[in-house]
Amino acid sequence: METKMSKSTFFNSYYELLNKKVCSINKEFLLDSASKIIETKYNSGKVIVIGNGGSAAIASHISIDLTKAANIRSINFNEAALLTCFSNDYGYENWAEKAIEFYADKDDLLILISSSGQSKNIINSAIKGKQMNIPVITLSGFMHDNPLRGLGDINLWVDSTDYNIVETTHQVWLLSIVDYLIEHKS
């Protein structure tokens, strides 16, 4: 029978792993991402943040914090009627790309989140952003050479195949960028 002490070993190991992943990022990538967001604000653009599932929840959180706390216009496309309408009319793989086509402007910035880096709708969004000459920041994990990772101007990658580790790391990185922007009065 396991003791409480041996069970707590799981949490110790988990938090050590999470800390290692969060700290694994080259901080220059975070500073470059913050600079892109500031540049977008000064060019009167907006930040568009898109993800699926848990990454969609992160997209909502980040876009709200950018708008409310950092005073940087930001949107996400998590409104059910928009998502289901565009998915129905254009296919799920294309809904986000079409949303970008309809809502993005030349001075905007895309932040695209996919834990695996293989979500076709997120990949198509990156391609659409490139076609429209809109800067793209990607966040992904899993394979080092996942398709999304090669499509951004800045690519933040987590070396893990565990969804919760990847998503939590993405959220910490993005929230640290928001806090940096607040602290430095972007």
* pLDDT tens by residue, 74-110: 999 999 999 999 999 999 999 999 999 999 999 999 9
Inform me whether the pLDDT recorded for 113 exceeds 60. yes
The predicted model scores a pTM of: 0.95
Percentage of residues in the chain having pLDDT higher than 70:
97
CATH superfamily of 4-183: Glucose-6-phosphate isomerase like protein; domain 1 (3.40.50.10490)
Contact assessment for residue 94 and residue 77, using Cβ atoms and an 8 Å cutoff:
no
* pLDDT tens by residue, 123-154: 999 999 999 999 999 999 999 999 999 999 99
Q: If 0-12 CB within 10 Å is exposed, 13-18 middle and 19+ buried, where does residue 15 land?
A: exposed
* pLDDT tens by residue, 35-75: 999 999 999 999 999 999 999 999 999 999 999 999 999 99
Q: What is the pLDDT of residue 67?
A: 98
Inform me whether the pLDDT recorded for 4 exceeds 70. no
Inform me whether the pLDDT recorded for 1 exceeds 80. no
Q: What is the pLDDT of residue 6?
A: 72
